[in-house]
Chains A and B, each alone.
Chain A
Amino acid sequence: MLQGKNAVVTGARTGIGRATVEKFAEFGANIWACARQPDAAFESDMKNISHRYGIWIETVFFDFADKSQIEAGAKEILSAKRPVDILVNNAAINQTELFMKASIDNIEHLFAVDFFGPLLFTQKLAKRMMRGKASSIVNISSLRGLQPAPGRLAYSSAKSALKTATETLALELASSGVRVNAVAPGQIGSERMMEELKERKTSINNALGRFGTSAEVAEVILFLASDMSSYMTGETIPVTGGRGTDFTSS
């Protein structure tokens, strides 16, 4: 499905990003796996995946909170002079803070990592992607971007902004063969999420009555990244197990 394609995945060390790397590799894509900091366990994990599936994976390290690092990361990828067919903007942080107690610095930091960082990275890589015939950008938004909840002002707003950016970019990049879509996961049982949910004593609140897995989100990312979704752009697909009625607690 992705045979011979080259993909960039951010936040590749854990959770949905890690599952996406494995899914893409399984379907034949080569990958630039981006993470914040070099880490031996991550390097060896990526090496194992690349051997298992017979594709190449190159690790790239940069922090989304730092514009010059983002530029350097993009430059490293572009300097390979290879086509970039797929970009998955997955790396993000989360934050829970009631508005009246919220620090504007924290909100700014979240927006830098979850919104402005991915935009700058996309702007740099899109130049190469626009030269391909059928490229795909997949942004990882969130159910919170569609349906805000108390205490989630910064996160919900940033993810909502990413959804709107997805729609705008889809219009601007369509003429150069780049599709731009998003996925809005709900309650996904990635390690980080499970810890957070435990802390916040959150219960399961969806029609299927369970947490989703990172692999289940990666399947939808794969669909949007591949030509199977060739007539889709500017869309956000919720992956939520069926949105319930009471989402104030998740």
Chain B
Amino acid sequence: MLQTYRDLFCEIFEIEEDELDSATPDTLDTWDSLHHMNLIAALEDEFDIEFEPEDVMEIVSFQSGMEVLKKYGVNF
């Protein structure tokens, strides 16, 4: 699960694994609103879940994404 999550992040934001821990909309040029929605769509598809709108807004870093996913039963 964790590797799938890491791969998705890297693929969508076009970054390397060593950039993941510091990935936020402020640190990545590629993290704009469209790419944010791409990430949400990919996570929903991969983990077969549907985020509540407020949770979509909570995903503001690599770490916070993991926290939100845990609420939906995704275990890392």
Contacts and interface: CB of A to CB of B under 8 A. Distances in A.
Contact of B37 (A78, A128, A131, A172): A172
A25 B41 CA distance: 29
Interface class of chain B by DSSP: helix
Residue from the set B34, B35, B41, B44 with the largest chain A CB neighbour count within 10 Å:
B41
Contacts of A127: 41-42, 44-45
B38 A176 contact: yes
B45 A78 contact: yes
Contact of B42 (A78, A131, A175): A131
A131 B38 CA distance: 8
Nearest to B41: A127
Contacts of A91: none
A130 interface: yes
A130 B34 contact: no
A159 B35 CA distance: 29
Interface residues of B, number: 8
Interface in A162-189: 172, 175-176
A176 B35 CA distance: 8
B35 A175 contact: yes
Contacts of A126: 41
Contacts of B44: 127
Interface string A112-133: 0000000000000011101100
Contacts of B42: 127, 130-131
B38 A128 contact: no
B45 A128 contact: yes
B20 to A, nearest CB: 19
A172 B44 CA distance: 18
Nearest to B12: A176
A131 B45 contact: yes
Interface in A31-47: none
Contacts of B37: 172
B41 A176 contact: yes
A176 B45 CA distance: 14
A175 B37 CA distance: 10
Contacts of B45: 78, 127-128, 130-131
Residue from the set A126, A128, A131 with the largest chain B CB neighbour count within 10 Å:
A131
Interface of A: 78, 126-128, 130-131, 172, 175-176
Interface of B: 34-35, 37-38, 41-42, 44-45
7 contacts: A126-B41, A127-B42, A128-B45, A130-B45, A131-B42, A176-B34, A176-B41
Given A78-B45, A131-B42, A175-B34, 14 more contacts: A126-B41, A127-B41, A127-B42, A127-B44, A128-B45, A130-B42, A130-B45, A131-B45, A172-B34, A172-B37, A175-B38, A176-B34, A176-B38, A176-B41
